[in-house]
């Protein structure tokens, strides 16, 4: 089912921030190589991949597989040993690096906000460099804070050490987006955040991305985070070798090899269920008796399966948003998704229930 989740198109959508100025550009890595001086093995031996405008590409792979190297090559903090990188069809190698970096938002876990600057001044960093007027900057700061669901009056004049880790991370994203860059690089941005806040930040990221539709390269070593956030996932192995580049559903349905299969995990069938909602399940017709337990049709099938199992295997009544009964979710009905044991027969959820909804 190629492309089932690939539903955001290659188009950059405008007017995302309410100012009509959201931009996104396609990113292409073409035979990129990177050898660090004094090292025998290439950090990246030959990497090619294209991220369509407005899509989230998650780079995932074990430590040392070249993920950070790839990011730093894209914004030219380091130079490639070979190949080319094109942003919107234009080689980044020909660009003035300062100008280029203003076009690329960069969010990382280690380098946080400027500690001696207020939230307002942190977010205003690149707009100031670009010489925006005071009024425009002020309006943009307010807009960015709204975009990340923080109250300007409350936080704009605080300093980073007066914020929670999760808030700081969101301000980091706001700062990266302030000058409306067509590309956003995020290198393990939520790596140091506790699991609860991490889930919250992931959800906030998806909500934000639904609005701004940036081209995003997001690095993580967490396959669950990759599946949750990526329109496409690039799995790297040592030497920056691309093991597979596919949508989350394709990756779980058809891992290219043993390395990918192991990386996505033995529970890939369950993970796959997490990408499908009850709307895709052929529900059992009601036969008069209505089981007490009920569940929303928008629930993903993995959670629905868990709910059925928690109820001792009893069917659950599936209802829509208006409380209308649609049928019964049973273990058999869910099992039917794996026709002939082949999860690729399983539909992935469409845009209405997709990640950027």
Binding site for Mg ion (CB under 5 A): 67-68
- Residues with Cβ within 8 Å of 59's Cβ and at least 6 positions away in sequence, in order, are 67, 70, 71, 217, 218, 219, 220, 234, 236
DSSP character for 283?
Answer: P
CB nearer to ligand ADP: pick between 61 and 248: 61
Phi, psi of 75, rounded to the nearest 5 degrees = -100, 15
| Cβ-based nearer residue to Mg ion, 67 or 272 | 67
Select from Mg ion, ligand ADP, none the partner in contact with residue 39, using the beta carbon and a kind-dependent cut-off of 5 to 8 Å. Answer: ligand ADP
Measured from the CB of residue 114, what is the shortest distance to ligand ADP in angstroms?
A: 24
Whole-number Cα distances in Å, 222 to 53, 59, 60, 228, 324: 24, 10, 7, 10, 38
Instruction: Report what 353 binds from Mg ion, ligand ADP, none; CB cut-off 5-8 Å by kind.
Output: none
Minimum gap (Å) between residue 188 Cβ and Mg ion: 6
* Angle, alpha carbons 79-81-85 (nearest 5°): 65
Q: Which is nearer to ligand ADP, 61 or 354 (CB)?
A: 61
Q: Which structure tokens are listed for 347?
A: 């539909």
Q: Residue 258 Cβ, how far from ligand ADP at the closest point, in Å?
A: 20
Rounded Cα–Cα distance for residues 84 and 29 (Å) = 6
Helix, coil or strand: residue 105: strand
191 binds, among Mg ion, ligand ADP, none (CB under 5 to 8 A by kind): none
Q: How far is the CB of 241 from ligand ADP (least distance, A)?
A: 12
Q: How far apart are CA 299 and CA 321, in angstroms?
A: 11
For ligand ADP, which is the closer residue by CB, 43 or 148?
A: 43
Whose Cβ is closer to Mg ion: residue 71's or residue 295's?
Answer: 71
What's the closest the beta carbon of residue 42 comes to ligand ADP, in angstroms?
A: 9
What are the residues binding ligand ADP (CB under 6 A)? 36, 39, 43, 61, 63-69
């Amino acid at each position: 089912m190629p492309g089932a989740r690939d539903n955001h198109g290659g188009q950059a959508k405008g007017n995302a921030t309410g100012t009509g100025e959201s931009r996104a550009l396609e990113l292409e890595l073409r035979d990129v190589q990177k050898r660090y001086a004094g090292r025998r093995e290439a950090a990246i031996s030959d990497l090619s991949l294209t991220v369509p405008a407005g899509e989230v590409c998650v780079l995932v792979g074990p430590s040392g597989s070249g993920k950070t190297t790839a990011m730093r090559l894209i914004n030219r903090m380091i130079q490639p040993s070979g190949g080319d990188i094109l942003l919107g069809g234009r080689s980044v190698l020909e660009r003035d690096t300062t100008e280029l970096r203003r076009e690329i938002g960069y969010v990382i876990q280690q380098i946080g906000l400027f500690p001696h600057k207020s939230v307002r001044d942190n977010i205003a960093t690149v707009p100031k460099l670009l010489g925006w007027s005071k009024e425009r900057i002020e309006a943009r700061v307010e807009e960015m804070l709204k975009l990340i669901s923080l109250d300007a009056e409350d936080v704009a004049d605080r300093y980073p050490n007066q914020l929670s880790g999760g808030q700081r991370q969101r301000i980091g994203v706001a700062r990266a987006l302030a000058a409306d860059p067509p590309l956003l690089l995020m290198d393990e941005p939520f790596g140091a955040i506790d699991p609860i806040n991490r889930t919250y930040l992931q959800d906030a990221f998806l909500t934000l991305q639904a609005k701004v539709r940036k081209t995003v390269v997001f690095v993580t070593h967490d396959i669950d985070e990759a599946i949750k956030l990526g329109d496409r996932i690039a799995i790297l192995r040592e030497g920056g070798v691309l093991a597979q580049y596919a949508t989350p559903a394709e990756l779980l349905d058809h891992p290219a090899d043993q390395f990918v299969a192991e990386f996505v995990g033995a529970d890939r069938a369950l993970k796959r269920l997490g990408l499908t909602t009850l709307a895709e399940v052929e529900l059992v017709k009601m036969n008069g008796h209505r089981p007490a337990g009920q569940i929303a049709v928008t629930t993903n099938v993995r959670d629905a399966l868990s709910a059925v199992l928690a109820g001792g295997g009893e069917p659950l009544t599936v209802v829509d948003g208006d409380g209308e009964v649609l049928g019964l979710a049973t273990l058999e009905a869910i099992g039917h998704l794996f026709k002939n044991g082949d999860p690729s027969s399983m539909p992935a959820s469409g845009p209405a229930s997709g990640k950027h909804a």
